[in-house]
Structure 1
Amino acid sequence: MSARMQVHEEAYGRYARLLDKPLTAAIEEGLTPCMTVAVVKDGRLVYRYAHGRPTLHPDDRRFVGADTAFNVGSITKIVTSALAVKLMEAGVWSMNDPVRQHVPEYPFADATVGHLLTHSAGHKKQPIANPARGEMETFLKGVYESQEREAAPGERAVYDTVNHEIVMDMIQRISGQPIEHNARALLFNPLGMKRTSYDSAIYANGEYVLPCSLDNRSEEAMFDRRAPRGGTGLHSTAEDLAKFASLFLSKGRCGDRVIFSEAAVDFMLRESTDGKFSKTPVMFIKTERDAYGCFADLNSPSAVGHPGFSGCMMMVDPVYSVAAAIVTNSQRLHRHWRNYKRLMNLIMGASTSMNLIK
């Protein structure tokens, strides 16, 4: 796959007529200062959009483009979880492996890899942290020493980014390499995701934007150049995320190359908590009740995806063969997840109102 996906030009024109105006209206009403979007339908890129400035500050004269990298927040968890599934394919571990088998310092003997991936290990939620570069080892040591439990494994789901920091630690210990190395070798390079990285230090000034404050008038420096993490902080573009999302529509293939086995893709799309938490091993799943409220009303119950605190969402709907990524830097947009529902309704409406010309 090339660095830039080929656009289905005829479809692009029709999508643009349906989507450009309402997406630009969301920017003009101040929901977000900028937005990038990419949509894949039936395995082909049918739409991309990039518009706006990094902030609503009147003196900000910068513009974002399709190659501008954004902090995509908790969409990071999808990628980290997918890397964990790659190790399952390699026979390294299973969902039922005790975490302590791979991280001896982990304090609970009965929590499994699957519990971490579905936020159901019973942990008491940790205070939000944002470790600086070089501080991750100390941060994780503190997690293992201070982790408390408030429920038995599998009893309840408590969403906590720390779960995926532990998964990252497991991946790094087993591979002997930073998570960036694993992701680049197994996903980013094969998929041509050249603008995606766990390590924001690879970007030059001007190549990326930071998450905005709630009024969207300033970028928040606290998120700049932080430590690579398994649960948040991945930088990417809408088009790169669309490349990754398209794997879930192509049974794990990218052209002639197999990135995931068909069985692994089916596993990542399948609800894995006996219906309790509407969670696959890597993403939220809509189901009939849409427990998270971020999916389109027009999505099928089989739709999967995940939002990120910085106003981003990746969605895959295998029933309609549609994948989409919305990438912004607006915590204001993220504050009410119905905003994702509204934007994804636009995309699903456009995607299911026309047939592609082959």
Structure 2
Amino acid sequence: MLKGTNQELGRPHNRRIVLEAIRQHGPISRAEIARRIGLTVQTVSTITAELHEGGFVSLTPGKPKGRGFPAPSLQVNPDGGCACGIYVTPRGIEAGVINLSGRLLGRRVLQETQISADRAFAWISDMVSELVDGWSPDRVIGVGLALPGPFDIESMSFVGPTTMQTWGGVDVYDRLKAAVPFPVFVDVDSAAAAHGERLYGLGDRLDNFYYLFLGVGLGGSIIYNSRVMRGAWGNAGEIGHVPLVPGGELCACGNRGCLERYVSLEAYDRRVAEIGEEAWLEEIAPIFRAAIVTIENLFDPETVVLGGVAPVELRRKLLELADDLPNSLAARQDRTVPRVVLSDGGADAVLLGAASLAVSRVFSPEPPPANEPKDDIGDPLDRSREKESAA
């Protein structure tokens, strides 16, 4: 639940709470915001006046319902700010810029197999500069970068064709901070995409779901009470290296039968070239179903969201494999959504998600846990004021 605090030290928290309430429920009146988040109408009025003056929310005249003047409604101003998302994969770099409503305004793509860190950050600097051209710097909320996971596991993070093999020892956060003049955010690709789903996709209707990320490899993230669950080292939900096939194919991590050896874009390209798509789907059907049941029994989500960067046609074919799932904790009679659903994010899921790392810090009602990947939390409203003071 969104709840503010009437203590003066809670002002930044309250600002984010008010923004999140407007994002979730707008158009919405000041009185309704106050009722929902437990602040006084005066406090909400002060905050919304600042946000309106800063250009982050817009006012809409209320509709007359009788005598008197109707209260105006507030909603997020899509053009009040922008954020960039960067996705680095073993196949190249994608970059995009979104507005506050999550609309992708522009994108850049570089296709290069196993790009080096030096080349990558040089390209990223140029891409970001091009994408935010025309935006005032104080309106650029930040730059989020997503990479394949898991993070900081010596035997997994930079080993095999689904990882950035030459990036071991690279301080991604510091390199990104040196490459762009904006607040920066770094996360694993599956968690970034889950962030985007929460802000711009099914998150408006679901509070608890598992996001199954189908990319070059296979990953996943758990959304619990509208937040990404991290685990002790920030890799919770990493499903790709669960060994589901006893004595199966050797994985680059050293184990046999890991799930991503069978269900991933790398596995798809490799096996379809050998046996064809239909035979591949038949081959992985029991493995995929076992993975869904494992997720359901471990995390008890409202649903499993099938997302990632795989083409939607391929994800639809995988969804058909879930028509006949084995029994699990999710086999409830009172379900309101299917056990597996397609993501709303489409092929741009990670770009939206990486950019949303910045946006979610602005809207987030709570500070990030200490074990989340490093970021540079900045408040665009404060930066806008600093600019005005300097002028």
Q: Which category describes the TM-score, using the shorter chain as reference length?
A: under 0.3
Which structure shows the higher helix fraction? 2
The structure having more radius of gyration, on CA atoms, is 2
Query: What is the TM-score with the length of structure 2 in the denominator?
Result: 0.25
Higher relative contact order (CA 8 A, sep 6+): 1
Query: What is the TM-score with the length of structure 1 in the denominator?
Result: 0.27
Which structure shows the higher strand fraction? 2
